[in-house]
Amino acid sequence: MCHRWQLLVVTCALTSIAVPNSTAASTDTPESNRQLITRHFELLNGGKWREASEMFATDVRHHLGAWPSGQEGVVQGKDLLIQNLDDIYRTFPDWKMEIVDMVADSASVVARCRVSGTHKGLGTRRINGGFLMGVKPTGRHFEVQHMHWYKIRDGKITDHFASRDDLGMTQQLGLLPRPASPTPERK
């Protein structure tokens, strides 16, 4: 049985194949792209985020998923993503991203992940939904699902899209209330 996210991935992959690539001589393959992202996650999970950031293109674009004025929010540049990773690892020294599912083609990789960490530091950047900026560490652990889509060209990550459960993370950290459990209906 096919899941909706898998259909989305296949649609995106087919779309990327149908659009001519500006680097026709690219040597990227589904397997090399899969290996790049697997290695990226291994480095991140080992706390080697500076080394993992070397896999970003200099002009990498991080797509924020926010459309405040009808335009997608995008931040660009490797230095900005390095600053964001620094903040994540100061806030969550044990940050982990376990790959649950992965789909790859010659232009991109999509990974569904189990992401976890323990809130031990003070966030200073508007990442993780901006919920943790200036928030005193709770010492609590969280575990949520993320979806990450990486576009790859010539062995470098050129674009990053993410769909994260920032609300679930914030609730598990005790910073927002969890919804009340529904009461069973009486018949």
Domain residues for the domain of 31 are: 26-172
Q: Please say if the pLDDT value at position 167 is more than 70.
A: yes
- Tell me if 94 is assigned to some domain: yes
| Contact by Cβ (8 Å): 34, 27 | no
* Domain contains 1: no
15 inside domain: no
Is there a domain that residue 187 lies in?
no
CA-atom Rg of the chain in angstroms: 18
Of 36 and 1, the one with more pLDDT: 36
- Let me know if residue 12 belongs to a domain: no
Answer yes or no: is 56 within a domain.
Answer: yes
pLDDT band at 185 (very low <50, low <70, confident <90, very high): confident
Does the residue 186 lie in any domain?
no
Q: What does the pLDDT look like over 86-112, one tens digit per residue?
A: 999 999 999 999 999 999 999 999 999
CA distances (Å), origin 78, targets 86, 94, 131, 143: 12, 23, 23, 27
**CATH assignment at residue 105:** 3.10.450.50
Q: Give the number of domains in the chain.
A: 1
Q: Does 114 score more than 90 pLDDT?
A: yes
Give the model confidence (pLDDT) of 134-155 as tens digits: 999 999 999 999 999 999 999 9
Asked whether the beta carbons of 163 and 146 are under 8 A apart, the reply is: yes
| 162 within some domain | yes
Spell out the residues 6+ positions from residue 93 whose beta carbon is closer than 8 angstroms to its own: 47, 117, 118, 120, 121
CB 76 within 8 A of CB 64: no
**Between 161 and 22, where is the model more confident?**
161
Q: Please state the φ and ψ torsions of residue 103, each to the nearest 5 degrees.
A: -130, 135
pTM equals 0.80
